Amino acid sequence: MLGGDAAYNPLAQYWWGWMAIAIGLVVLVVLWYAFVWWVSRRAKETVTVPDEEVTPAPSREDLRARYLSLVDEVVQSYDTGALTRRAAHRKLGALVRLYAQEASGVRAHVMTLDDLTRARLGAIAHAVSVYYPAEFASVESGDVHRSADVARRAVASWW
């Protein structure tokens, strides 16, 4: 039966909707990639920071002067009754740690006393060791003025 019309089978006819769905899915995928690319490109443009907003690091003298005045503020707050002994010692401990961090970049604010000693932050470790009993004792104790002098010496001698 090779010849004649009886052996002829027409091509299978598919529903035209399947072709439309396939083309639609391809278009949606292309649009999704274009959208993601466009949104991520715009986000990069808005994150840039102009150079003129960058402030220079303070000098050693400015940094020392600022922290010495902060120590004086703690003592003044204690003398006026705004701070308890424990709170004053906590603030002094935080100040010397922040000074060490800002002066050297060492993350002293998250270090224990042993960590400070191992990191060879001598004056800072000594100051923190003076504050520990007053900070953590069950009864408030310690001389805030003496502790402030320790903080001043640590700030003035270190770095």
> What is the CB neighbour count within 10 angstroms for residue 134?
21
Can you list the alpha helix ranges (DSSP code H) found in 84-143? Answer: 85-104, 113-118, 122-136
Q: Show pLDDT as tens, one digit a residue, over the chain (159 residues).
A: 555 566 777 777 778 888 899 999 999 999 999 999 888 876 555 555 555 666 677 788 888 999 999 999 999 999 999 999 889 989 999 999 899 888 888 888 888 888 888 888 888 888 888 888 888 777 777 888 898 999 999 888 866
Report yes or no on 72 lying in a domain: yes
Structural domain including 139 reads 60-157
C-alpha–C-alpha distance, residues 49 and 61, integer Å: 29
Q: How far is CA 124 from CA 32, 50, 96, in A?
A: 56, 36, 6
Report yes or no on 126 lying in a domain: yes
pTM above 0.75, yes or no: no
Report yes or no on 115 lying in a domain: yes
For 42, the 3-state DSSP assignment is helix
Length of the chain: 159
Report yes or no on 1 lying in a domain: no
Tell the residue number behind the tokens 């800002």, with chain if given: 102
Report yes or no on 124 lying in a domain: yes
C-alpha–C-alpha distance, residues 103 and 65, integer Å: 12
Domain count, the chain: 1
Q: What is the pLDDT of residue 142?
A: 80
Report yes or no on 129 lying in a domain: yes
What would the DSSP string read from start to end of 64-80?
HHHHHHHHHHHHHHHHT
Q: What is the pLDDT of residue 74?
A: 93
C-alpha–C-alpha distance, residues 67 and 53, integer Å: 24
Report yes or no on 68 lying in a domain: yes
Report yes or no on 36 lying in a domain: no
